[in-house]
Amino acid sequence: MSLKLSVIGAGYLGAVHAACMADLGHEVVAIDTDAAKVASLAAGQPTMYEPGLAEMLARVLPTGRLTFTTDYALAADADIHFICVGTPQRTGENAADTSYVFGSADSLAPHLTKPCLVVGKSTVPVGTAFQLRQRLQAAAPAGAGVRLAWNPEFLREGFAIEDTLTPNRFVYGVDGDTSDADVKLLDECYATPLASGIPRLVVDFSTAELVKISANAFLATKISFINAMSEVCEAAGGDVVRLAEAIGLDDRIGPKFLKAGVGFGGGCLPKDIRAFMARAGELGADQALTFLREVDSINMRRRARMVDLARQQCGGTLRTRRVAVLGAAFKPDSDDIRDSPALDVARAIQADFATVVVHDPKAMDNARRIAPELLYADTPQEAVRGAHVVLHLTEWPEYRALDPAELRGLVERPMIVDGRNALDPVKWQEAGWVYRALGRPF
Ligand code: UGA
């Protein structure tokens, strides 16, 4: 059955959600206050790089089922309103900034004249859904006819479409009083993916909010765990890549998210663990999450270690050295540079008086904007020309396919530090390179 939906916020989450829902056959109005973003999406041009999104927009826009607008009034007719706005880290604090969530609900409320379901998808501090329900019902002409559910999103950048259409679970946080009708409506919305047997869990508001943030906290912990083992391997002469392989074969541990390297970044994991600690503090449960402080500091130490390794490879000083940085995005298949370990390391090295030349297949424009002090090269070959050391910091497939023998002829000194443990050491060593990595005895 086709539903009328509105999606509030056309950023990463919202643009992908709106396109995917239209692709499922629903009629979708996506609203964003940024007119330039709206115009670009309406013309079929995503404002970020996400594999498959441009193709999906090209498919659904001509059907007329997907509209992008700045006008909240166009949402009035929808059966479900998805709140997909960002919750960034507050400046100078650990807590999440929920002003976009409440602000967008305030803009939407006057248009809610008929019974409808507002569904929060953003990652929020536990307790937000409850407050939002009160605020919407107080401000909307439909009053208590406006219901609320929390349906967290688990998409990964780079796999956003796949994760939206075939997530490994749907979680519905519903309000006790109206829950049956809300569950039924959400089931209609997700009927196609649910038909393929994807598990669906119905829980209360708080649990739904916590599922999302605790899943991200667990993922961050898993990465910091392996990076802590990396530190121990470095001290003891072990090999963290083989260690991860071996512990990952225990299916209680599993092999995923055990990739040691320069650590996690992006717009979610770092800010989410901080916001989670801040919220636990407000709730008087701060002790429960003190370990996340350690997760955060292990993660940040990896960046510092990378700078140290680069310095070591340059003979003890970075001054006047030329350093090539392969990668600027926080992970491959993304042009997102938010809290990117690669860019952070590049900037720290440049601040130590080296000349840093960065290459990234997709994130150069974004990187240039926030780090104009760095040099940028259009190809990896150009980036490494004359370099005293090459740092591999984002594991794009392009970098794995590089020919070390060709690059050997371009650099000043054949030194590479693999910050993602993703290159083949033997291949690089055979081509005459000194290969170093984090947590490995090279
Ligand atoms: C993360 C979660 O994985 C999603 O489930 C969640 O929906 C999303 O946040 C969100 O809250 O919106 P994402 O930030 O796109 O998704 O990226 P991840 O694939 O989780 O990677 C995060 C960082 O961890 C990257 O910098 C990546 O390079 C790093 N990482 C990942 C490692 O260092 N080692 C690993 O083994 C895995």
Task: State the closest ligand 1 atom to the C-alpha of 159, by its place in the atom list counted from 1.
Answer: 15
Crossing angle of helices 205-236 and 290-313, in 10° steps, is: 40
180 forms beta bridges with: none
CA dist., res. 127 & res. 331, Å (int): 31
Is 219-442 the same fold as 4-198? yes
Q: Does the C-beta of 330 come closer than 6 Å to ligand 1?
A: yes
pLDDT of residue 442: 83
Mean pLDDT of 234-250: 97
- The topology under which CATH files domain 4-198 is Rossmann fold (3.40.50)
Q: Ligand 1: distance of its center to the CA of 263 in Å?
A: 10
Domain regions of the chain by residue span: 4-198, 219-442
Pocket test for ligand 1, best of 151, 171, 219 (most atoms within 8 A of CB): 219
Backbone angle region of 339, left / alpha / beta, with phi > 0 → left and psi within -120 to 50 → alpha: left
200 forms beta bridges with: 170
Task: State the closest ligand 1 atom to the C-alpha of 123, by its place in the atom list counted from 1.
Answer: 11
N residues, the chain: 442
Say if residue 53's pLDDT is above 90: yes
Torsion of CA 158, 260, 296, 101, to 10 degrees: 10
Strand intervals (E) in 32-91:
66-69, 80-83
Is residue 188 within 8 Å of 218, Cβ to Cβ?
no
The catalytic residues are 268
pLDDT of residue 382: 98
Contacts of 323 by beta carbon, 8 Å cutoff, 6+ apart: 310, 314, 346, 349, 354, 355, 356, 357, 387, 388, 389, 390, 391
Is residue 15 within 8 Å of 31, Cβ to Cβ?
no
Complex ipTM > 0.90: yes
CA dist., res. 110 & res. 1, Å (int): 27
Q: Helix, strand or coil for residue 433?
A: coil
Mean pLDDT of 271-281: 97
Mean pLDDT of 158-174: 96
Mean pLDDT of 113-142: 97
Say if residue 77's pLDDT is above 90: yes
pLDDT tens-digit series, residues 7-38: 999 999 999 999 999 999 999 999 999 999 99
Report which of 129, 122, 123, 176 is spatially closest to residue 148, judged by C-alpha positions: 129
Looking at domain 219-442, its CATH class is alpha beta
Is residue 186 within 8 Å of 151, Cβ to Cβ?
yes
Q: Does the C-beta of 331 come closer than 6 Å to ligand 1?
A: yes
